[in-house]
């Protein structure tokens, strides 16, 4: 389908843009680091001279607040975490579940005291370093070999936020389903009338035109994907607990979603679909090339889905946080109205993006399913 080609090319463009953004950010980290190292000596020199001139100034410089690093703050938010930061110095400790070669280890991340303390587990000693759990050797240093052998199945901030979203989804949809049972054949009411048009939209504008008459079989998957992504996107926009986690902007989640699409598309592919891939209608000498291209095509479609969702949501979070960071970079309240205005604008835009990305993911999944189950005559 032509539609698909257009989408794939768009995804490629987006991927390039996002790679550039990541590259830019990583360069920025270096420059900031350089600037910091350049600034600190000056500061210390000034402090020293000030100290020499007057004791009062010196003490002020010593009490000076820690340097604000926007890249670090933003990356900390974008990445996953073992604690859920609530406000100020208050955080919610989350359970740590480690799969070690000797067995499972379960303990609270509060034991790390924000990475300041090591935790003596049943089998190993653990240390939280840059939000990664590492095994500490007998010499008090990190044992990289042993660290690689443990698998981290912790309920991290993203997992917890995802559970919250799932809880919300379950409450909403089971109550809506109850409303349908209670009011059989009547007009929708309340939450039901809010949700019903969206369900009908997914059915009539996503599933039916792209899949055709077999759409009914795929409706549960499409609806679940749509609302799962949408609710997670929306909760990600809520700045306070239990929202604010970058769940759909995490590559692991989008990877699972895309993997689901990959599996559901390929196990439902009919003989025409597989013939198109394995025995394409080309001259024999092109055959090896075409099969490779087609097999790459199978992978690239869900890959595009994975990257698109991840990049869009992460980019939104980065922009909002960057705008907020401006206040702290300029260290003035005067910039706050500008920042807030821009953040407001971005948040409204992100509301649209939240819906749009859920829509596009579902639409493309439906499109791929439609291509796989299409009957050729």
Partner 1 sequence: MELVTPSIGLVFWTSVAFICLLIILRKFAWKPILGAIHEREQSIDEALNKAELAKQEMARLTSQNQDLMQQARAERDEILKEAKTLKDSILNEAKKQAQTEGAKLIEKAKIEIENQKKAALAEVKGQVSTLSLEIAERVLRAQLDDKTKQEALVANLLKDVELN
For binding to partner 1 (CB under 8 A), which residues are involved?
22, 75, 78-80, 97, 151-156, 158-159, 162-163, 166, 169-170, 173-174, 176-177, 180-181, 184-185, 196, 199-200, 203, 216, 219-221, 223-224, 228, 250-253, 255-257, 260, 310, 314
Cβ distance to partner 1 smaller for residue 169 or 336: 169
Least distance in angstroms from the C-beta of 37 to partner 1: 23
Least distance in angstroms from the C-beta of 262 to partner 1: 13
Task: Give the separation between CA 118 and CA 135, rounded to whole angstroms.
Answer: 9
For 102, other C-beta atoms within 10 Å of its C-beta total 12
Q: Which helix (H) or strand (E) holds 129?
A: strand 125-129
Q: What phi, psi does 331 have (nearest 5°)?
A: 50, 40
- Calculate the CA 241 to chain-centre distance: 17
Cβ distance to partner 1 smaller for residue 79 or 319: 79
Task: Give the separation between CA 224 and CA 229, rounded to whole angstroms.
Answer: 8
Least distance in angstroms from the C-beta of 221 to partner 1: 7
Least distance in angstroms from the C-beta of 194 to partner 1: 13
Cβ distance to partner 1 smaller for residue 4 or 111: 111
Cβ distance to partner 1 smaller for residue 162 or 346: 162
Least distance in angstroms from the C-beta of 253 to partner 1: 5
Cβ distance to partner 1 smaller for residue 123 or 173: 173
Least distance in angstroms from the C-beta of 310 to partner 1: 8
Least distance in angstroms from the C-beta of 305 to partner 1: 14
Q: What phi, psi does 300 have (nearest 5°)?
A: -70, -30
Task: Give the separation between CA 126 and CA 143, rounded to whole angstroms.
Answer: 10
Q: 242 preceded by cis ω (within 30°)?
A: yes
Cβ distance to partner 1 smaller for residue 253 or 354: 253
Least distance in angstroms from the C-beta of 169 to partner 1: 7
Cβ distance to partner 1 smaller for residue 30 or 375: 30
Least distance in angstroms from the C-beta of 143 to partner 1: 19
Write the burial class of residue 156 (CB in 10 Å: 0-12 exposed, 13-18 middle, 19+ buried).
buried
Cβ distance to partner 1 smaller for residue 229 or 237: 229
Task: Give the separation between CA 367 and CA 269, rounded to whole angstroms.
Answer: 12
Task: Give the separation between CA 226 and CA 231, rounded to whole angstroms.
Answer: 9
Longest dimension (CA), the chain: 91
Cβ distance to partner 1 smaller for residue 181 or 376: 181
For 306, other C-beta atoms within 10 Å of its C-beta total 23
Task: Give the separation between CA 377 and CA 375, rounded to whole angstroms.
Answer: 6
Using DSSP, state whether 101 is helix, strand or coil: coil
Residue 239 CA: distances (Å) to CA of 36, 222, 231: 29, 28, 14
């Amino acid at each position: 389908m032509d539609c698909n080609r257009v989408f794939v090319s768009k995804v490629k463009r987006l991927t390039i843009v996002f790679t550039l953004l990541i590259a830019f950010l990583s360069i920025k980290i270096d420059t900031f680091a350089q600037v910091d190292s350049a600034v600190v000596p000056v500061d210390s020199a000034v402090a020293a001279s000030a100290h020499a001139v007057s004791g009062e100034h010196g003490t002020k410089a010593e009490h000076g607040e820690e340097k604000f690093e926007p890249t670090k703050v933003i990356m900390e938010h974008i990445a996953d975490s073992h604690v859920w930061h609530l406000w100020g110095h208050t955080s919610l400790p989350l359970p740590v579940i480690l799969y070690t070669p000797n067995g499972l280890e379960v303990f609270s991340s509060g034991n790390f005291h924000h990475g300041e303390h090591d935790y003596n587990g049943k089998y190993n000693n653990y240390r939280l370093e840059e939000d990664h759990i590492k095994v500490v050797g007998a010499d008090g240093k990190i044992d990289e070999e042993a660290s690689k052998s443990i698998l981290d199945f912790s309920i991290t901030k993203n997992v917890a936020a995802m559970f919250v979203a799932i809880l919300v989804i379950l409450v909403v949809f089971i109550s809506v389903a109850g409303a349908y049972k209670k009011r059989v054949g009547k007009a929708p009411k309340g939450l039901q009338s809010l949700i019903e048009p969206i369900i009908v939209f997914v059915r009539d504008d996503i599933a039916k035109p792209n899949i055709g008459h077999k759409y009914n079989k795929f409706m549960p998957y499409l609806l679940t994907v749509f609302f799962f992504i949408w609710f997670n996107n929306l909760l990600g926009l809520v700045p306070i607990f239990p929202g604010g986690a970058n769940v759909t902007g995490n590559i692991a989640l989008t990877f699972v979603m895309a993997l689901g699409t990959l599996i559901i598309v390929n196990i439902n592919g009919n003989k025409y679909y597989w013939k198109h891939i394995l025995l394409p209608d080309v001259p024999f000498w092109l055959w090896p090339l075409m099969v490779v291209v087609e097999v790459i095509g199978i992978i690239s479609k869900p890959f595009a889905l994975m990257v698109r969702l991840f990049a869009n949501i992460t980019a939104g979070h980065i922009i909002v946080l960057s705008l907020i960071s401006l206040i702290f970079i300029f260290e003035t309240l005067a910039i706050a109205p500008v920042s807030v205005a821009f953040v407001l604008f971005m948040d409204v835009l992100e509301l649209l993006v939240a819906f749009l990305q859920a829509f596009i993911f579902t639409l493309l999944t439906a499109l791929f399913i439609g291509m796989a189950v299409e009957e050729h005559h």
